[in-house]
A and B are shown apart, each in its own frame.
Chain A
Amino acid sequence: MSPPALEARGIAAAYGIAPGLDLAVPQGGITGLVGPNGAGKSTLLGCLAGRLRPTAGEITLFGERLDRRDRRALARTLALMPQEEPRPDGFTVRDVVELGRLPYLGRFGRLSDADREAVHAGMSLAGVEAFAARPIDSLSGGEYQRVRIARALAQEPRVLLLDEPEAHLDLGHRSALMALLARANRRRGLTVVAALHALDVAALYCDRIVLMDRGRIIASGPPAAVLTAERLGAVYGSPVWVEPGPDSRLRLGPVRTESPLEEQT
C-alpha cells in the first residue's frame, strides 16, 4: 500500500496545536480542514508545509521526514497557498504564474521550454490564460485567487495546501475556485488539503473532512460521518442543520437563533 501523502504523528505546536495530534492524509483526495476561528487550522497547515517546526512529533511527506528535505526539493513536491499575500506591483498575470517555476530554475534563472509548458498548463487548467497579459492590479479578488492557484499548479507539486482560499469570495467565484481544485485533483492526481472557511463548501467538494477545535482533531473521515448536526452544534456553539442533498452530498447551514453566543453552552 502506498504511504499517506502527508502524515503527522504526535505533533504539538506552540500556538494552536495541543500535544499529541495525529493525522494521515491519503494520496489523491481533497481533504477539508474545518473548525471555528482559532481551532489551529492555519498552524497545522504551516506545520504540514514545513513552514512551522512542531515542538514535538514528526511529519512525513510520502513517507519521508519533512525536516530532512531540502527546501527546493520540498517546493517541487508541495505547494502552500497562504491566506493573505500582497500583490506584486507592476506584474502581469503571466509574471506571477512564472514565479511558480522558481524551485526549478538555476541561479540566473532563465525559463526553459519545459518551464513555459508548465506555466501554460497551469494557466489553462486554472482558466486564467485569457487574461495572461493583464496587470494584476486590474483583477478582481476571485480572479486573482485563480491566478495564485495557477502559480501553485505551475509549481507542479504532488500536494497542494491552501489556507481558506475561498474566504472573501462571492458565491460564483467560490464555486469556480472549488471546481478548479476538483479538476486539478482529478486530472493530475493532486492531493489537496484546504483549510476551509465555509462548512457548506467543505461538505460539497471534499472527500474527507478533518474537524478541529482548540488545537485538537475532533473527528475525521467522509463528510457524512464527520459533519453531524450534534457535533457541529457543539463545536461552533450554535445550532446547525444538516441534510443529504439530491447529489448525495450534504447540505448544511446555521439555524437562526435569538440568543447571543455566550448563552448557547
Chain B
Amino acid sequence: MTDRARGPAGLAVAGLLLVAAAAWAAVVGPVSIPLDEVVRLLLGGEAHGGAVDHGAVLWAVRLPRIALGMLVGAALASGGAALQGLFRNPLADPYVLGIASGGGLGAAVVLLLAGQGQVAPGWVPPAAFAGAAVAAFAVHGLAWRAGRLPLAAVLLAGVAVGLIGSAGVSLVLVLAETRAGDIVQWLLGDLGGHGWSAVAAVALAVGPALAVLFAHTRTMDALLLGEDSAAGLGIDVTRAKWWILGAVSLAVGGAVAFCGLIGFVGLIVPHGVRILTGGRHRWLVPISAVAGAAVLVAADTVARTALPDRALPVGVVTGCIGGPFFLYLLRRSLR
C-alpha cells in the first residue's frame, strides 16, 4: 500500500470495526436479539410479541450503553493520541494530566456518603466532573508561569495532582470499610446502568472536545518539530497548548464522570493506530477516535457477557486484552 493510502484505509477499517462491534454489542446479552431484528427495530419496526420486549431492551439498555462506549472510547483514544504527540512521549495517556484521579476522588467521596445514606447516588457524576475540573485547573494553574505553559511543568503537576487524588481515594476506601467494594467497582470503570440523558451529558463534553482536537491536528504535527519550529510556522504555541490540553481535560472529565476510570484505551489504541498508519495527527487523531470507540464497545461487551452470573469491570477487560495485544504490536514494530 502506498503511504498516501494508509490514512483513508485505516479510517475505513476502523469504521468497519466500529460497526461490527456495535452490532455484536446490540445482539448479545442475557436476552439475545437476532441481528435482523436489531436492524428491523432500528428502522422503526415493531417488536415481535414474546416474553421479553426486545424493542425496550434495545432502546433503553443496549443502545445507550453502546453510545456511551463510543463516546468514552473516542474521547480517551483521541485524547491519548493528542497527548502522546504534545508531550512527545509514547507513555502519555489522558490520565497523565491527573484529571481522572480528581474525578475519581470526587466520585469516591460521594459514593462513601451515599453509602451512609447522606446524599443520593445521582450526585456521583456531577461530583466526579467537579473533581476532574478542580484537578485540571490545579494542574494548569500550577504549571502556568509568566505567560508560558511549559509542558514539563504540566507533566510534573499532572503526576503530582494525580498522586494526591489517588491518596485521597485510598483514604476514602479505608473509611468506607465494607463498602469499599462498590467504590473500587466504580473506579475500575463501568458503562452500564445509564440512560440517554447520561449519553447526552457525555456528548456535551466529548463532542466539542473532539471538534477542537480535530481542528488542531496540523498544529500537533508542527509541535512534533519542537516549539521553536512550530512558532516559526506561524503557530501561537501557548494558545495551541491551552486548546489541546483544555479539550483533553474536558473530554476526560466528561468520560470519567459517568463511566469511571477506564484504563489502557487511551494508551494502547493511539499506539496501535500509530504503528499501523504512521504518525501524522491528521489521520492519527480521527482514526484513534473511531478505533477507540470500537475497542471500548467490544471490550464492554466482553465484560458483560464473559461470566454467566456477573459483569466484569470494563477496565479489567481492556487491560487483560489490550496489554498483550499492545505487546504484540510493539514487538512487530521493533523488528
Question: Which residues of A does B touch, CB under 8 Å?
Answer: 49, 51, 71-76, 79-82, 84-86, 88-92, 94-95, 99-100, 102-103, 105, 107-109, 133, 155
Contact = CB atoms under 8 A, between A and B. Distances in A.
A102 B233 CA distance: 6
6 contacts: A71-B231, A75-B233, A75-B234, A95-B280, A102-B234, A103-B233
B208 interface: no
B232 A72 contact: no
A75 B3 contact: no
Contacts of A91: 221, 224, 278-280
Contacts of B280: 90-91, 95
Given A71-B236, A95-B280, A107-B215, A88 B221 contact: yes
Contacts of B279: 88-91, 95
Interface of B: 2-3, 88, 214-215, 218, 221-222, 224-226, 228-229, 231-236, 274, 278-280, 282
B228 A102 contact: no
Nearest to B229: A85
A95 B222 CA distance: 11
Contacts of A95: 221, 278-280
Contacts of B232: 49, 51, 75, 79-82
Contacts of A85: 225-226, 228-229
A133 B235 CA distance: 26
Nearest to A75: B234
Contact of B235 (A49, A71, A76, A94): A71
| Best-surrounded residue of A74, A91, A133, A155 (most CB of chain B within 10 A) | A91
A156 B185 CA distance: 57
A78 to B, nearest CB: 8
Nearest to B277: A90
A95 B277 CA distance: 13
A99 B233 contact: yes
A46 B229 CA distance: 11
Contacts of A99: 218, 221-222, 225, 233
Given A99-B218, A99-B225, 4 more contacts: A85-B226, A89-B279, A91-B279, A109-B282
